[in-house]
Chain A
Amino acid sequence: MQTSTELAYDSKIEGDVVVTRVDAALNWFRKNSLWPMPMGLACCAIELMAAGASRFDISRFGSEVMRFSPRQSDVMIVAGTVTYKMALALRRLYDQMAEPKWVIAMGACASTGGMYRSYAVLQGVDQIVPVDVYVAGCPPRPEALLDALIKLQGKIEKQPVVRELEIASRLASKPGQKVGAA
């Protein structure tokens, strides 16, 4: 199972043709167009908005729009304190997102419950959704969130997409199987 992230491009030899592997191309498409779903629950949402505004511009990295609909987004950025009351709604929204999907836990409250060791706060959103990148900070600077997005892009770059799609299609062709993956 080889994955290569190299895109070869030499205009003198090939002209306007790019030679690459399917894995690399698919991963490149995915990582450079991560549309976030902002789960902005508390103060980290302000820094998320700052990251989306012009000074720190998250759309430079492909996150062109903040899609508030789970059907239209790729990465859920959980920015803020997740209370137990909100946890079920958050899980439901995560379930409604289409594959492939990722989660960034932004800030101390989303990562571990933060300073709120109490009866009402979920101690880390990773108790209900699988998290790909954690960002430390209270709140993290917009640059830290952009760094997390870049790390997530690095993670996506290495995913064996074709293999996963193969497995998924094989599972789907078997009657009665639920399609997981990618």
Chain B
Amino acid sequence: MSALDLALKLTAQFGDLISAPSEFRGEVTLRVTDAERIAQVCAFAKASLGFDYLVDISSVDNYGSDPRWTVVYELYGYGHRCHLRLKTDVSEEKSELPTVTTVWRGADWHEREIYDMMGIRFRGHPDLRRILMWEGYPYFPLRKDFPLAGKPTELPDVAFTKPAPLEGGPFVTLPGGKTAVEREPRVRTPES
């Protein structure tokens, strides 16, 4: 039972809802075209295909392209020891998809973190509130249009934030340069 076989079984069950599996270095990814049915797909994957462990749910901000959000589910099965990745797209106007906490209880905090950082809501979540930032924080920090330094906010008796002094920008190493001088962390002006 390889991951590809399991992925093909999933495709056979759901037909047009799921794209053909793509493989990269042994990792199999499937795209689910309708985000509304992600809970059904996950329930089938857990019940029939043995993916009993939800490794991670994460989200991608495709800033500038529509649909803006991609939610990525990383699945694993202890029985067959195979990984599988499911991706769904959600548009910015909707910013909502069903929760998978009914399938795996561990999805609870992953979805709360996605809500906190990106602002994507999960319908049917038992307790959807911020987990890292505080209740009442007005922004979603990991969106691409939110600056790294942060924005000033004030919530009396709870917390305040101030923009951090970046002194010329985040000092990041650019991968792919041929010499260390090209890769060196230095002041870079943001393009946008």
Contacts and interface: CB of A to CB of B under 8 A. Distances in A.
Interface of A: 84-85, 87-88, 113, 116-121, 123
Contacts of B164: 113, 116-119, 121, 123
Most chain-A CB neighbours within 10 Å: which of B141, B158, B159, B167? Answer: B159
A119 B149 CA distance: 5
Given A85-B133, A85-B134, A123-B165, A117 B149 contact: yes
Contact of B161 (A113, A116, A117, A119): A119
Interface in B72-88: none
17 contacts: A84-B159, A84-B160, A85-B134, A85-B159, A88-B157, A117-B164, A117-B170, A118-B148, A119-B147, A119-B149, A119-B161, A119-B164, A120-B133, A120-B141, A120-B161, A121-B164, A123-B162
Most chain-B CB neighbours within 10 Å: which of A88, A118, A119, A123? Answer: A119
B166 interface: yes
Contacts of B149: 117-119
Interface string B132-143: 111000010100
Contacts of B148: 117-119
A113 B162 CA distance: 12
A103 B148 CA distance: 29
A164 to B, nearest CB: 31
Contact of A119 (B146, B157, B158, B170): B146
B183 interface: no
B124 interface: no
A36 B170 CA distance: 36
Contacts of A117: 148-149, 164-167, 170
